[in-house]
Amino acid sequence: MGLLRGLRSWLDERFGWDALIAPLRKKTVPLHRFSYWYFLGGITLFLFIIQVVTGILLLLYYRPGASEAFESVQYIMTRVQFGWLIRSIHSWSANLMIFTAFAHMFSVLFFKAYRKPRELTWVSGVILLFLVMGFGFSGYLLPWNTLAFFATKVGTEITGQVPIVGRPMMIFLRGGEEVTGATLTRFFGFHVAVLPGLTTLLILVHLLLVQRLGISVPPKLEAEWKASPAQRREMKFFPNFMLRELMAWYVALGVLGALAAIFPWNLGIKADPFVSAPAGIKPEWYFLFMFQTLKLIPPKVWFIDGEVIGVVVFGLIALLWLLLPFLGRNHPSRVQRWITGIGIFALAYMAGMTVYGHFAQ
Amino acid sequence: MAISHSNGWMLPGGLLGCLMLWAAVATGQTKNSCLDCHSNLPEPLGVTQEKFSHDIHAQKGLTCASCHGGDPTSDDPDKAMSRKAGWKGKIDRKQIPQLCGTCHSDTTYIRQFNPSLRTDQLSQYRTSVHGKRLALGDTKVAVCTDCHSVHDLRAPTDSQSTVNPVNVANTCARCHADANYMAEYKIPTSQFAEYGKSVHHEALVVRGDLSAPTCTTCHGNHGATPPGFASVANVCSTCHVFQAQLFDASPHKEAFSSAGLPGCVTCHSNHGILHPTDELIGTDEKAVCTQCHTEGDAGFVAAGKMKQQLVQLAGAIDGADQILSRAEQSGMEVSQASLDLVQARDVLTKARVTVHSFNVARIESEIKPGMETAAKDYDAGKKAMAEREYRRVGLGVSLVAIALVLVGFRLYLKQIES
């Protein structure tokens, strides 16, 4: 303890450490029956940290390139000490992170935590969700197996349906007309350099905003607390909430370890661009609701391609979702009721379509 | 109004007439009065335009008169079917091969239509049992039209052709599976039923493998003649080359010849050849070896040893396959070992072929690397399963550690919050 105190005093003399962490000491977390939803953001952050650490470890052995990628992942899975564990945790953690990010977003939506003054927190959070999905899309191709190859082919083809900019975007993503080794190198670049850089920056902005604005309380509860301040209950962020958050992280770590040990992530069969696509090919679960919707749209609606309509509609929904806190500022209560309804519909639609897409032939 | 109405129909009517004339000129179509009448007649005289349009001869520009003679440009039946105009009427069965051969034996003529088509069908036919019996006056035997059909004769490549590889067995069976029809020839009529159960039929008809044999592959087509015992092995060896080479160099070649036994057929049968299994060899009741060899003789001992070798390798492969499958289902990465197991399977396939040498030492030496590969793959499977257990134990220890930390945190929180 003496050593720690000495180190702290040393840091305080040089950086004003105590002043730096003073806001954390003062920070409180509202305590109510929904408080456990506050853990979701932290768990997503923890899973992101896991991704960074395991990703760096995988980088020690992974070799991007059509002739080497699959073999290098196979090497990691079979020859590298605990390579299987690192890769399986990386894959499972990626999926769990996307799940917790979605759950976090919907909890924010239903507790209306996006309201003024937290609009930018919402915007940064939604962009982070898109970036996380980008991580999923780019990382899925990296083992260069058959499923990944054809899922990327279909995924980039859908991008090509965006009017005007679609085709140049598709060629940019693929590094040419077709999905080749050039696409793999490109996706590797996005996955390990572009996306981590952008995501880290945005996470810092997101956390800074959370720190500056404090944690939101559901409107109903906020009104009750305003009417009767004695009812207001809070918990110190440090160490009380932080320790609980750490406990949640430990649970997440246990779940990750169990998934990796009992269900190690499958490697599949090496991609062969010259064979036909496996029957019933589907994207990863988090893209399935969009994929299934596009499949249900007729090939032609009036004179426009059905797929183009689907892509444009999804693009517009994504834009509206991003700008959600700025909608109906003149009639906040009425619009907020609408937003809750839309949120429930969106959640039900996404869940329903994902299940339908999973079982559809 | 009536005139103008009538004029209104005259223009399109005239146009239609012009179009029809143009179409007739453009397609080089000439008048064929035969079909005008025969399309309305019942079988066997009836031939419709639709039926004749499928005939390869019609498609190449030949008409009824090409075979039957006469004058198809005349609408008068007496003129059209006059002997003066060369009308031959119904072609006598005995004359059919000769009539077909008029064109099909003429290399220069046939070359105009299909340069790769053979022109020895007639001479081949004359060497066949069918041809020989026809020459002796037996008109029940097959002539060209019986197999190839008539008036709607399609190219053999056409899937609806009676001589398309997939349909050949049915075509032959029309006579050869008819016990009443074949009664006077005193030959079996069970060939088609047996062939229907054979591995060759399954390959050709079920799997659509056009390289698989049908009747004509072994028996020939135009020169159809039942192969004698000496030539049956030659027929099989056109596809089963290695088996034939090994058999020819084996002691069985001489032994079978002197015993008057046909090579392949003695063990594998002929029309009803089933997929060979390891049960065919050995000293069990089902083994064909016991048809000649009895307990105590050298062949009996050798058969037992060969069977043992094959069974041993098949068992080793199955064992490795099972443990690798279990490991794979548990998410273990065993793709390399699974790939190596394919080599062991190849060795087994090769050893099953080598059985035709009836050389125990040779089979043993071939089986050996397969056994080694299978053992290595079994070890890889065992290691993967052990690794799976190790991971689960590791997980258990980690979860206990995590649980302890959680309890510690909980106690600490309780302490600071009390």
Residue A258 has pLDDT above 70, yes or no: yes
Residues in contact with A171: Cβ distance below 8 Å, sequence separation at least 6, in sequence order: A177
Check: CB of residue B318 under 8 Å from CB of residue B378. Answer: no
Question: For the whole model, what pTM was predicted?
Answer: 0.69
Chain-chain contact of B399 with A257 (C-beta, under 8 angstroms): yes
Whole-number pLDDT of residue B17 = 45
Secondary structure of chain B in HEC code, one letter for each residue: CHHHHHHHHHHHHHHHHHHHHHHHHHCCCCCCHHHHHHCCCCCCCCCCHHHHHCCHHHHCCCCHHHHHCCCCCCCCHHHHCCHHHCCCCCCCHHHHHHHHHHHHCCHHHHHHHCCCCCCCHHHHHHHCHHHHHHHCCCCCCCCHHHHHCCCCCCCCCCCCCCCCHHHHHHHHHHHHCCHHHHHHHCCCCCHHHHHHCCHHHHHHHHCCCCCCCCHHHHHCCCCCCCCCHHHHHHHHHCCCHHHHHHHHCCHHHHHHHHHCCCHHHHHHCCCCCCCCCHHHCCCCCCCHHHHCCCCCCHHHHHHHHHHHHHHHHHHHHHHHHHHHHHHHHCCCCCHHHHHHHHHHHHHHHHHHHHHHHCCHHHHHHHHHHHHHHHHHHHHHHHHHHHHHHHHHHHHHHHHHHHHHHHHHHHHHHHHHHC
Which residues 59-78 of A have a C-beta within 8 angstroms of B? Answer: 74, 77-78
At B329 the pLDDT is 87
A244 with B413: Cβ contact below 8 A: yes
pLDDT digits (tens, 9 = 90+) for A46-86: 999 999 999 999 999 999 999 999 999 999 998 899 999 99
Nearest to B131 by CA among B90, B103, B100: B100
More confident residue, A229 or B316: B316
A198 within 8 A of A132, measured Cβ to Cβ:
no
pLDDT of B91-144, one tens digit each?
999 999 999 999 999 999 999 999 999 999 999 999 999 999 999 999 999 999
Arithmetic mean of pLDDT over chain B: 88
Q: Which of B333, B395, B416 sits opposite A258 (nearest CB)?
A: B395
Average pLDDT, integer, range A191-220: 94
Region A288-313 average pLDDT: 91
The DSSP code for A232 is -
Residue B26 has what pLDDT? 45
CB contact under 8 Å between A239 and B333, yes or no, is: no
At A332 the pLDDT is 67
Q: Is the pLDDT of residue B10 over 80?
A: no
Name the DSSP letter for residue A234. Answer: E
The model's confidence at residue A233, banded by pLDDT at 50, 70 and 90, is very high
- Nearest chain A residue to B380, by CA: A78
State the smallest CA–CA distance between residue B254 and chain A in angstroms.
49
Helix, strand, or coil here: A89? helix
Calculate mean pLDDT across residues B342-370: 96
Inspect the interface and report whether the beta carbons of A250 and B409 lie closer than 8 Å: yes
Most trustworthy range by pLDDT among A328-337, B139-148, B227-236: B139-148
Q: Given B331, B403, B417, which is nearest A240 (Cβ)?
A: B417
pLDDT-derived band at B397, boundaries 50, 70, 90: very high
Q: Which pLDDT value is given to residue A328?
A: 66
End-to-end CA distance of chain A: 62
Mean pLDDT, range B330-357, rounded to an integer = 93
- % of chain B exceeding 70 in pLDDT: 90
Residues of chain B positioned with their CB less than 8 A from the CB of A87: none
pLDDT exceeds cutoff 70 at B173 = yes
How far does A111 lie from chain B, in Å, by closest CA? 27
- CB < 8 Å to B328, chain A: none
Report whether pLDDT(B232) > 70.
no
Query: Shortest Cα distance from A334 to chain B (angstroms)?
Result: 41
SS3 for B62-82 is: CCHHHHHCCCCCCCCHHHHCC
Q: pLDDT value at position B11?
A: 43
Pair of tokens at residue A332? 């906040």
**Peptide bond before residue A239 is cis, with ω within 30 degrees of 0:** yes
The reported pLDDT for the residue numbered A330 is 67
Residue type, A137: F
* ipTM of model: 0.85
Tokens of B333: 């990465």
| Percentage above 90 pLDDT, chain A | 75
pLDDT higher than 70, residue A222: yes
Q: Pick from A251, A257, A266: which is nearest to B398 by CB?
A: A257
Give the pLDDT confidence score for residue B6 in this predicted structure: 39
Q: What pLDDT, in 10s, does the model give residues B280-298?
A: 999 998 899 998 999 889 9
- The proportion of chain B whose per-residue pLDDT surpasses 90, expressed as a percent, equals 68
Q: Which of residues 233-252 of A touch B (CB under 8 A)?
A: 239-240, 243-244, 246-247, 250-251
Encoded tokens for B276: 């060979």
CATH, domain A28-219+241-359, list 1.10.10.10, 3.40.50.970, 1.20.810.10, 3.10.180.10: 1.20.810.10
Contact assignment for A247 to B395 by CB distance below 8 Å: no
pLDDT at A167 over 80: yes
Beta bridge partners of B183: none
**Residue B182's pLDDT is what?**
95
Contact B331 A264 (CB under 8 A): yes
CB atoms within 10 A of CB B125: 24
pLDDT, tens only, A21-31: 888 788 899 99
